[in-house]
Amino acid sequence: MSDAWLALRRLTQARIALGRAGHAVPTPVQLDLQLACALARDAVHVPWDAEGFAKGVRALGKEALVLETPVASREEYLRRPDLGRKLADASRALLLSAAGSGADVALIVSNGLSSTAVERHGLSLLQAIVAGYRARHIRMAPVCLVANGRVALSDAIGSALSARVAVIIVGERPGLSAADSLGIYLTFAPQPGNTDAQRNCISNIRPPDGLAYEDAAAKLLYLTEEALRRGYSGVALKDESQALRHLHFP
């Protein structure tokens, strides 16, 4: 194997420059691949303890509402994406009773396609986000915790809470390089029927190998403030936070 391949391998977690043993890959490489497959399956199928997570949210000084979608099992969640985009009737009634005069941001957390990601990184990321919003006096609704949710669920929740912006932290689809990645999706003026073109996404949050909690929170804070100021989100709203940082702090 050439030195160039070895140098490239140090720059990525992708499976390159694996070597060979006859017509196959070496045994350690094959075993590592099987382990990655098992971790990805576990991330998808393991249930999420939303009630336990709620205790951690309350320890941050935030009210937590544990809600449900109509999804009955993880298997149904995978087969019926539409059910993960709406609230169960009882949860919708609970949310409407908790709605106030309207907050700037509705914060939602769901295990999505990786319970492992939310259990491993969710509270630490949420702590960084809440600290940033508090520092900038951005009003937050109670944090909504919903197992088996899809990204568009944030529209239903944000609308019910009359929030100006909806933010959902969700476990991303696991791959063979990472089974514990979190994503954040932000939508201005959340309402059912919004498309993904109206959302901004911050992906691959999983330190130390991905984006750090503080960096993700800083990007989200920038996008939130700009969405509130400009009145839109999605493809029209670009993350220019790094450009502005270099402009003001050379």
Q: Which domains does the chain have, with CATH numbers?
A: 3-7+17-44 (no CATH), 47-248 (3.40.50.11240)
Virtual torsion, Cα 8, 11, 16, 19, nearest 10 deg: 70
Q: What is the dihedral of CA 225, 194, 146, 117, to 10 degrees?
A: -70
What's the predicted TM-score (pTM) here?
0.89
pLDDT in tens, the chain (250 residues): 556 777 787 778 778 888 888 888 888 888 988 998 999 999 999 999 999 999 999 999 999 999 999 999 999 999 999 999 999 999 999 888 876 667 999 999 999 999 999 999 999 999 999 999 999 999 999 999 999 999 999 999 999 999 999 999 999 999 888 999 999 999 999 999 999 999 999 999 999 999 999 999 999 999 999 999 999 999 999 988 775 454 343 3
> Distance between CA atoms of 165 and 197, rounded to whole angstroms?
15
Q: What is the distance between the alpha carbons of residues 166 and 139, in angstroms, rounded to a whole number?
A: 12
Buried b (16+ CB within 10 A) or exposed e, 210-247: bbebbbbbbbbbbbbbbbeeeeebbeebeeebeeeeee
